[in-house]
Amino acid sequence: MSDSVVRTRVAPSPTGEMHVGSLSIVLKNYAYAKRHHGQFVLRIEDTDQTREVPGAQEQIISILDKFHLPADEGPIVGGPFAPYVQSQRLEIYRLHAQQLIEKGQAYYCFCSKDRLEKLRDQQRADHSPPKYDRLCRNLSPQEVKSKLDKEQPYVIRLKVPDHQKVSFTDLIRGQIEFDSDQVDDQVLIKSDGFPTYHLAVVVDDHLMQISHVMRGEEWISSTPKHILLYQAFNWPLPVYAHIPIYLNPNGKGKMSKRHGTVSVGSFLDQGYLPEALLNFLMILGWATNDEREILTLDEYILEFNPQDISQKTVVFDLKKLQWLNGIYIRNLTNKDLISKLKPFVPTDFPSQFLPQVLPLIKERLVVLSDFEDLTAFIYRPIEINQKDLLKKSSANQVAEQLDQLISTLSSLSAQNWLTLQLEEKIRNLQEKQNWSKGQFFMMVRVAITGQTQTPPLFETMAVIGHDLTLSRLNQALLTTKKVT
Ligand code: GLU
């Protein structure tokens, strides 16, 4: 296929928050179109109005923006095949369904809900697959006309041919074959005049000249329906690639809300950087030739080929995402990091400390929302656990150490309260007294922060400042004396 004809699309339904799986599909369609200097189209599939969630369409567009994956054509930017919102294209679908009726490829069905339900019940009882029994397929033109004249409600169904092989080549899975006998005479136009997904997707992909349909593997079972429709219209098929779904981080089952975060919005809310999340989605189930794991969008575009996507379902490896996010955070300049941290800095954080605090925690931030936990000990009251404080020592010994530390540090003025000076004084004391390094420094860490794991001790003391450090050492001294 020549470069100029590659046109990909995503066709989300605005039925809720965007799932990371959908973002991954966006990424692949975007990259493939760009690689071949083609166009990437966004089409909103909102024909099931009962499931529509207000604001979802705007959210989809804003996510494409945030991740720098803008559509070349779509509801906002427009394009040669506008409108790109299906509810604004109802007439187009009706005309196409009409065409199929005229060609003898589709028919009116006047069966009532009640009849269809009874049919279904019977099929259930017989353990046969749910299928329309084609009662209306054999109505004479006169019967149809008289029912239409009487304005009897109807749907339009596809005349599915008998005993035909329906096959297509999937870029990822190779040849896939179905038997037309397994396919229902599907509804194309519903009784409310709206098209079904199947009709609308085929008509739009054809009219919008989509060359490659890359979508989630959950749509494989719909593909024979689509192919039968292409055949009924006598249209050429697009190239298909059905992309494997993600499994929950624990490896069990399709990635779902019940097992943790799934929506793109909630990953952003936790402080995953868009670049890190995209990089992660790039390497999930696909690898570059040299298997490098850190890559930019431009590098991905140069190499991405849907044929190389693994056929297997992939586990959404949260640990790897966290690792990547940490790397992207550390690659930010402090200025950029400060600006990205803004929404995550609690209102009671003394913001003048931010430049000083940042270097202390940059190494330890996995997601931006860790900021609060990593810094709370600096500006909120701490609680000291006596057990931690007295670890590998005794109450008397620790009290003695704290006493001496307090008097050593009291001689240091607030102006000289700097990392190097603090380090020198405290190390001298420890060496002079020959206290165990491990025990002593851990005890000081607990006394000053209430935690056993913190940023480097002397830098931390410098940030916390003269007064607060001394008051915490005194608080710790009292803790040694507390009877538990
Ligand atoms: N509207 C479908 C969805 O919500 C699109 C499926 C397709 O890409 O054909 O995912």
Atom nearest to 215 CA in ligand 1: 8
Q: Which amino acid is at 473?
A: L
Q: Indicate which residue of 66, 103, 145, 257 is catalytic.
A: 257
Cβ–ligand 1 distance for 13 under 6 Å, the answer yes
Ligand 1 mean position to 218 CA, how many Å? 9
Q: What is the pLDDT of residue 483?
A: 63
Cβ–ligand 1 distance for 11 under 6 Å, the answer yes
Ligand 1 mean position to 95 CA, how many Å? 22
Q: For all residues of the chain together, what is the average pLDDT?
A: 95
Of 291, 279, 264, 281, nearest in space to 327 by CA:
279
Q: What value does the mean pLDDT take over residues 101-117? A: 97
Residue-wise pLDDT tens digits, 415-474: 999 999 999 999 999 999 999 999 999 999 999 999 999 999 999 999 999 999 999 999
Ligand 1 mean position to 214 CA, how many Å? 10
Q: Which residue has the tokens 């005349």?
A: 159
What b-and-e string marks burial along 357-385, b requiring 16 or more CB atoms within 10 Å of the CB? bbebbbeebbbbebbeebbbbbeeebebe
What pTM does this model have?
0.91
Residue 482 known to be catalytic: no
Q: What is the pLDDT of residue 353?
A: 87
Assess whether pLDDT exceeds 90 at residue 257.
no
**Using CA of residue 308, residue 276, residue 329, residue 361, what is the dihedral sign?**
negative
CA-to-CA distance for 316 and 21, rounded, in angstroms?
A: 10
Residue-range domains of the chain with CATH? 7-78+198-246 (3.40.50.620), 96-189 (3.90.800.10), 257-367 (1.10.1160.10), 381-483 (1.10.10.350)
Which of the two residues, 353 and 324, has the higher pLDDT score?
A: 324
Q: What is the pLDDT of residue 481?
A: 85
Q: What is the pLDDT of residue 3?
A: 43
Q: What is the pLDDT of residue 351?
A: 87
Q: What is the pLDDT of residue 4?
A: 58
- Radius of gyration over every alpha carbon of the chain, rounded to an integer in angstroms: 32
Assess whether pLDDT exceeds 70 at residue 484.
no
Cβ–ligand 1 distance for 202 under 6 Å, the answer no
Residue 374's pLDDT band, with cuts at 50, 70 and 90, is very high
